[in-house]
Chains A and B, each alone.
Chain A
Amino acid sequence: MAAADYKIISKPNCSMTPLGRVKLFLLLAVIPVLVGIGFSLAGMWLVFPFVGLELFALAYAFYYVNCHASDYESITIDDDRLIVEKRNYNQTSQFVLNPYWAQVALSGAPNGDLQLYLRSHGKEVEVGNYMNNEQRAALAEQLQKRTGATYRK
């Protein structure tokens, strides 16, 4: 088996640039500001706390999306190692399993979503967080061919 015989990287769908996010925030934030000004001029100044709440909730949402824009999950199989690497905000974690012993488990959550796990020697790691059910099922099938008893060096 050649080095990095199999590698898959999944990322959240974040196509907008940081500057684009700031511009979109500005565009969306103008709406409650205009509504607030309008209501206030009509005498209903009590709308301001809610305008502020909306503005700061929107700002936090955009900041959160920006912080998680470069998150990813990668699964690499090379030689005798199955490496799962995950980045969440500024933390990168790596799980190394043996592909021969690894088990692929696909289970259904109560909300109808499929959950995909890789298990080996008491370790369990969830993969496919940025995928939909069809993609998770396809990934499970691909991983099943490359792990466990079907694994050939």
Chain B
Amino acid sequence: MEQDNEKRRRNNLLVGWSIGILAVILYAASIYFGMGG
């Protein structure tokens, strides 16, 4: 049970950071290319 919770917590962190970093990269890229590169 404890291991399951720990695994879920790590999975949530991993997915959260992955999605967050992708969002920041995409946003920065859109501004960079939108301003003409």
Contact = CB atoms under 8 A, between A and B. Distances in A.
A89 to B, nearest CB: 9
Contacts of B31: 40, 48
Interface of chain B: mostly helix, strand, loop or mixed:
helix
Contacts of B9: 90
Interface residues of B, number: 22
Contact of A63 (B5, B8, B15, B30): B15
Given A22-B15, A29-B23, A90-B5, 10 more contacts: A18-B15, A25-B19, A33-B27, A41-B34, A41-B36, A51-B30, A52-B27, A55-B23, A66-B15, A90-B9
Contacts, number: 68
A63 B19 CA distance: 7
B35 A22 contact: no
Contacts of B11: 18, 66
Contacts of A52: 27
Nearest to B11: A18
22 contacts: A18-B11, A21-B15, A22-B15, A29-B22, A29-B23, A32-B30, A33-B26, A37-B30, A37-B33, A40-B31, A45-B34, A48-B31, A48-B34, A52-B27, A55-B23, A55-B26, A55-B27, A58-B23, A59-B20, A59-B23, A63-B12, A67-B16
Interface of A: 18, 21-22, 25-26, 29-30, 32-33, 36-37, 39-41, 45, 48, 51-52, 55-56, 58-59, 62-63, 66-67, 70, 90
